[in-house]
């Protein structure tokens, strides 16, 4: 039987692809973009690799979320297109990204019920990255914000972001857990900052968020589903 921990834990919970679906809508936009580009020589995977390189090089400047993504799609189009670049084409491409904004917030299985119980036992804080306005809109539309004592949106989840949050909010690292699906943003930098972490993989996690899991001074749990948190917290 799993030993449940004491109830004075602070649980930082990622939002996109941990609480609700997110990356699937970006993948749908990529598919629409590749079809629209209709490159005569490059395969879909080769086009995707070029887009990955553009996103990796520019995301620090343009940011995460649909707006930055739309700019990256346009940059990729201008780089690869084999025909005249028209304003109409660029508007169409931007529309692929804008469609992401109007998608319903689709909670992952068991999230609502699990949060209800977790919030009775622990302090829950939503800790997410991206465009602040866009993320706040998703939080407001999610219908689960009442379970959280706070929702923090940062431009990037790196070691500095976790250390800054620990310092400003006076969390104790040994009683603080970061829960998420991204090794790059949720697990590895949190562990490096001295927090504990819970890795809950999502099979459609953004490919640029993939990394090997790293160890740190804190504890690391690996679970299959969000609902399994109740056995530990």
pLDDT at 173: 92
Q: Is residue 1 part of a domain?
A: no
Asked whether residue 87 falls in the same domain as residue 116, the answer is: no
Q: Which of 101, 127, 144 marks a domain boundary?
A: 101
| Whether residue 178 sits in one domain with residue 162 | yes
Number of domains in the chain: 2
179-215 pLDDT, tens digit each = 999 999 999 999 999 999 999 999 999 998 999 999 8
Q: Which domain holds residue 85?
A: 24-101
Domain boundary pick from 71, 86, 101: 101
Write out pLDDT tens, residues 54-99.
999 999 899 899 999 999 999 999 999 999 999 999 999 999 999 9
In this structure, the answer to whether residues 164 and 223 fall within a common structural domain is yes
Is 3 inside any structural domain? Answer: no
138 and 40 assigned to the same domain: no
Q: pLDDT tens across 132-146, in order?
A: 999 999 999 999 999
> Contact, 196 vs 177, CB < 8 A?
yes
Cα dist from 22 to 42, 80, 193, 206, 218, whole Å: 27, 26, 26, 9, 28
185 in the same domain as 164? yes
> Residue 215: what pLDDT?
86
Q: Is residue 49 part of a domain?
A: yes
- Upper half-sphere CA count for residue 170 (Cβ side, 13 Å): 0
Average pLDDT over residues 164-177: 91
Structure token pair of residue 22? 């997110």
Shared domain check, 156 and 223: yes
Question: Does residue 4 lie in a domain region?
Answer: no
Query: Is the domain of 125 the same as that of 169?
Result: yes
Percent helix, percent strand, percent coil in the chain, to nearest 5: 50, 15, 35
Q: How confident is the model at residue 222 (pLDDT cuts 50, 70, 90)?
A: very high
CATH number at residue 144: 3.40.50.1000
Residue 185 lies in a domain: yes
pLDDT of residue 1: 31
Q: Is the pTM of this model over 0.75?
A: yes
Mention every residue, 6+ apart, whose C-beta is less than 8 A from residue 137.
101
* Two tokens, residue 130: 């991206």
- DSSP-derived secondary structure for 193-232: TT-EEEE---TT--GGG-------SS-EEE-SSGGGGGGT
Is residue 5 one of the residues assigned to a domain? no
On whether both 127 and 148 belong to a single domain, the answer is yes
Within its chain, how far is the Cα of 26 from the centroid?
12
In a domain, 217, yes or no: yes
pLDDT band at 169 (very low <50, low <70, confident <90, very high): confident
The per-residue pLDDT for 3 is 40
CA dist 158 and 163 (Å) reads: 9
Query: Per the domain annotation, does 153 fall within a domain?
Result: yes
Same domain, 119 and 220: yes
Q: Which of 101, 119, 146 is the last residue of a domain?
A: 101
């Amino acid at each position: 039987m799993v030993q449940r921990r004491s109830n004075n834990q602070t649980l930082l919970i990622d939002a996109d692809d941990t609480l609700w679906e997110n990356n699937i809508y970006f993948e749908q936009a990529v598919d629409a973009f590749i079809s629209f580009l209709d490159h005569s020589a490059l395969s879909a995977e080769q086009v995707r690799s070029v887009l990955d390189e553009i996103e990796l090089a520019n995301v620090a400047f343009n940011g995460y979320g649909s707006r930055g993504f739309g700019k990256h799609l346009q940059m990729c189009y201008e780089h690869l297109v084999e025909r005249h670049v028209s304003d109409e084409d660029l508007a169409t491409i931007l529309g692929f990204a804008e469609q992401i904004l109007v998608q319903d917030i689709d909670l992952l299985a068991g999230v609502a019920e699990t949060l209800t119980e977790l919030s009775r036992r622990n302090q829950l804080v939503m800790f997410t990255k991206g465009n602040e306005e866009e993320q706040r809109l998703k939080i407001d539309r999610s219908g689960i914000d009442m379970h959280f004592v706070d929702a923090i949106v940062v431009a990037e989840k790196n070691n500095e972001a976790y250390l800054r949050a620990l310092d400003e909010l006076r969390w104790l690292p040994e009683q603080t857990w970061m829960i998420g699906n991204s090794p790059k943003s949720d697990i590895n930098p949190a562990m490096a900052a001295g927090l504990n972490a819970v890795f809950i993989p999502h099979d459609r996690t953004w490919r640029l968020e993939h990394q090997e899991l790293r160890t740190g001074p804190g504890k690391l749990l690996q679970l299959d589903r969000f609902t399994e948190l109740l056995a530990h917290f």
